[in-house]
Amino acid sequence: MSVRVVARIRPLLEKETDKDTIVRADGGENGQPHTIVKLPNPKNDSEDFSFAFNSVYDQSTSQEALFTAEVAPHLKALFQGYDVTLFAYGVTGTGKTHTMRGGLKLADRGVIPRLLSGVFRRGKKITRESGGETTVQVALSYYEIYNDKVFDLLEPPEKRTATGLPLRAEASGRTVVAGLSERACEDLKDFEKLYIEANQNRVTASTKLNAHSSRSHAILRVKIIQTTGDTVRESTASAIDLAGSEDNRRTDNGKERLVESAAINKSLFVLSQCIEAISRGDKRIPYRESKMTRILSLGQNNGITVMILNLAPMRSYHLDTLSSLNVSSRAKRIEVREIENEVVYKQVPKQVSSLTGAARRQPLQPLANAHNAHNVAAAGAKKEDTNKPVKAFAVYTDKASKPVTTALASKPAANSSQVRRSSAGKRPSDHEPAARPSKLARPTTTNTSKTMSTPKTKGSATVSAADIEAMVEKKVGEVLAARAAADRQPQSQAQPDLSEAVQKRLEALERKIDSDEWRDENQSEGLRLLLAARQSKEKGDDAAALRNYEMALPYFPGQAKLLGKIDRLRARLGLGARVSPVKRSVRKQRSRQVTVDEDTEYEDGEADVDEESFSPIVLKQEAKMRRPRTRVVAQPVFDAQESSKEGRLLLDIINSRDVKRIRTLVGIGAKKAQALVDYLDLMIAEDGGQVESLAQLRNVPGMGGRAFDRAYEGLMV
């Protein structure tokens, strides 16, 4: 069956200043559960967008009701040998942890404690009814993915290693965490003790948007082992509380939080890309690009998968809500085959025949929602035109309105049985940069939030409703333009098969980045993002390429080459100018007289990145910019260098991309040489393969300022 996707709208919290609720549950007349999420078109309040899900739970839904409807029915299957995966997805502060973990009071308990309670109860029942012949053991493992590293939550934090636990692919195709501890759990009390202790190990820290924000993805695995005589049946329930995406411009996040946030946003972005790739039927699903997606292996795991989309009802989350509705709607299209885990015989090594392995590994199904009532009509329609792209989600407006002029307006909805009443207000995409919309307009408990819901008072420095409207308008315009640009590309161009040579080259780079253990984590991360951007670009997916380049930017702050790529892509997609995270106030135009700080950078804000400066990049860069200036280098010196024989030799050596040759330069060791070559492969090669000038070379990470001077001067000796 396809992944079951349900939405839960949380109630307003007392402290929340934005009381303007715009998200509501609909559909499901005559006592049937709701199936539609409705919210206004951000560009036209009188018109509604609707998204269809398997079920929709409104603000009044209790923890008990949600569990009874969505989780309890799968307990039986779990004991029949099926694996069950439950995961909560949504923007920060929308209620994921509340849904999964809940509060301490009995009525507030979330899905996880209720699941365990159900497991123990059913286990006892089975033992009782079998007259003691069948015994049921429960074992737990609990871990988090923090900054793309896996940490065991059942072990004290002192035992953590810097790199975390490695992942391993099993013969069955499943990805597992190597070296994870597992604890036997006798009863609910046992579980609660373990769970509370483990949660204290979980990295949560206060952010401005959510005072108890989860900064990691938490994964609880409950293994159920049923033994009858000499047969053993194992199945696993996984409950996953994903960290929420957030916008750093709104959260006042400090250095550490920024890095965390980048990791969280990246993994969630990869998840949305995987969902999209599966629903499109792509051959390559980018699971490998984040540990969370490797572990989740959406669509590859057998069994039953339920995705709970958490939503906040307020207007201040409007664009974020649209974005997560888009992603979740696509997830409905992922098919998971329900395959029972085999019974194995005690003492006999478990047989995993290749046939079984192959059968267990899920072939990815592009359009697998024959089970999804909303898609039946579309599935039929699709047959007529197999070349047409699969429309990834259903959204229709509720009010007949004038057709809009965007290119999107004429596209038919493909997976909704609902009548599309208006072609207006097509959905924004979830994967363009603009589609993880800014929370600029999100008020929570902050002052800004007040200004959102209260009219602007005279003389105050607040944002007026019209300003906000304009911001939303602009953002939506960007999103629509990006989508329109993407849609304008002919299908053959949208997903071309990469040439074998390019594919091989990219795969080799991917393997290398993964295998270089010596490499700084942040450096690897930055390179991975560049690689992902490169892959997207090769495939003609400019929007995804842009997103990846933008995410790589904090790892290579101020890099002219990278900024150029971003600017070009933004222009191509019809998006506005880039908003630089680097404070514009410290950015000055380079003048004839360029001032160089003692050990490195140019003053124009285009700080370079060398191996040592990868972490903590963003703040370090600003700190560097504040340092006193001590040396002044005149432009004529640069001009002379450009035309000197040393300059030409330096370029020649760098352009050779030969690690051994580059290492001969003064001040460049093995690591730096390798990092340079990788960077050149990713950034320069696609533009013709050459660093054309010394000025360009000075903007290559690791080759700015002093590193450049040393290498250059070394050639003069």
Ligand X SMILES: Nc1ncnc2c1ncn2[C@@H]1O[C@H](COP(=O)(O)OP(=O)(O)OP(=O)(O)O)[C@@H](O)[C@H]1O
Query: Considering Cα of 553, then 554, then 557, then 558, what sign does the dihedral take?
Result: positive
Nearer to ligand X, 310 or 321 (CB): 310
Indicate the DSSP class of residue 616. Answer: T
Q: How far is the CB of 142 from ligand X (least distance, A)?
A: 16
Is position 605 annotated in a ligand binding site? no
Is position 95 annotated in a ligand binding site? yes
Cβ distance 56 to 329 under 8 Å? Answer: no
Nearer to ligand X, 226 or 324 (CB): 324
Q: How far is the CB of 310 from ligand X (least distance, A)?
A: 5
Nearer to ligand X, 10 or 374 (CB): 10
Is position 207 annotated in a ligand binding site? no
Q: How far is the CB of 267 from ligand X (least distance, A)?
A: 13
Q: How far is the CB of 668 from ligand X (least distance, A)?
A: 43
Is position 125 annotated in a ligand binding site? no
Q: How far is the CB of 294 from ligand X (least distance, A)?
A: 21
Nearer to ligand X, 309 or 653 (CB): 309
Nearer to ligand X, 227 or 248 (CB): 248
Q: How far is the CB of 325 from ligand X (least distance, A)?
A: 15
Q: How far is the CB of 311 from ligand X (least distance, A)?
A: 10
User: What gap in Å lies between CA 207 and CA 256, rounded to an integer?
Assistant: 11
Nearer to ligand X, 104 or 171 (CB): 104
Q: How far is the CB of 126 from ligand X (least distance, A)?
A: 32
Nearer to ligand X, 249 or 629 (CB): 249
Nearest to 147 by CA among 476, 525, 495, 438: 525
Is position 91 annotated in a ligand binding site? yes
Indicate the DSSP class of residue 581. Answer: S
Nearer to ligand X, 99 or 536 (CB): 99
Q: How far is the CB of 165 from ligand X (least distance, A)?
A: 22
Is position 92 annotated in a ligand binding site? yes
User: Residue 700: how many CA atoms within 13 Å on its side-chain side?
Assistant: 27
Is position 677 annotated in a ligand binding site? no
Cβ distance 411 to 292 under 8 Å? Answer: no
User: What gap in Å lies between CA 102 and CA 95, rounded to an integer?
Assistant: 9
**What would the two tokens of residue 469 be?**
């409207």
Q: How far is the CB of 264 from ligand X (least distance, A)?
A: 8
Cβ distance 27 to 42 under 8 Å? Answer: no
Nearer to ligand X, 100 or 413 (CB): 100
SS (H, E, C) 472-525: HHHHHHHHHHHHHHHHHCCHHHHCCCCCHHHHHHHHHHHHHHHHCCCCCHHHHH
Nearer to ligand X, 307 or 531 (CB): 307
Q: How far is the CB of 627 from ligand X (least distance, A)?
A: 36
Nearer to ligand X, 64 or 192 (CB): 64
CB atoms within 10 A of CB 104: 10
User: What gap in Å lies between CA 454 and CA 443, rounded to an integer?
Assistant: 11
Q: What is the β-pairing status of strands 231-241 and 84-89?
A: parallel
Indicate the DSSP class of residue 611. Answer: G
Nearer to ligand X, 260 or 538 (CB): 260
68 Cβ contact partners less than 8 Å away, ≥ 6 residues apart: none
Burial class (CB within 10 angstroms; exposed 0-12, middle 13-18, buried 19+) of 10: buried
Q: How far is the CB of 620 from ligand X (least distance, A)?
A: 27
SS3 content of the chain, % helix, strand, coil (to 5): 45, 15, 40
User: What gap in Å lies between CA 496 and CA 677, rounded to an integer?
Assistant: 27
**Residue 24: φ, ψ to 5°:** -140, 160
Q: How far is the CB of 99 from ligand X (least distance, A)?
A: 7
User: What gap in Å lies between CA 68 and CA 286, rounded to an integer?
Assistant: 34
DSSP string, 118-187: HHHHHHHHHHHHTTTSEEEEEEEEEEEEETTEEEETTS-GGG--TT-BPEEE-TTS-EEETT---EEE-S
Dihedral angle over CA of 528, 530, 531, 532, nearest 10? 90
Query: Helices marked H in 553-669 — which ranges?
Result: 560-572, 617-626, 635-643, 645-655, 659-663
Nearer to ligand X, 41 or 310 (CB): 310
User: What gap in Å lies between CA 474 and CA 210, rounded to an integer?
Assistant: 26
User: Applying CB under 6 A, which residues contact ligand X?
Assistant: 10-11, 13, 90, 92-98, 210, 212-214, 243-244, 310
Provide the β-strand partners of residue 597. 629
Cβ distance 216 to 164 under 8 Å? Answer: no
**What would the two tokens of residue 67 be?**
């569990």
Q: Report how far Cα 554 is from the mean position of its chain's Cα atoms.
A: 16
Q: How far is the CB of 543 from ligand X (least distance, A)?
A: 25
What is the maximal distance between C-alpha atoms in the chain? 93
Burial class (CB within 10 angstroms; exposed 0-12, middle 13-18, buried 19+) of 92: buried
Nearer to ligand X, 437 or 704 (CB): 437
Closest CB to ligand X belongs to which residue?
244
Nearer to ligand X, 310 or 449 (CB): 310
Is position 93 annotated in a ligand binding site? yes
Q: What is the β-pairing status of strands 4-9 and 149-152?
A: unpaired
Q: How far is the CB of 67 from ligand X (least distance, A)?
A: 12
What residues are designated binding site? 90-97
What residues are designated binding site for ATP? 90-97
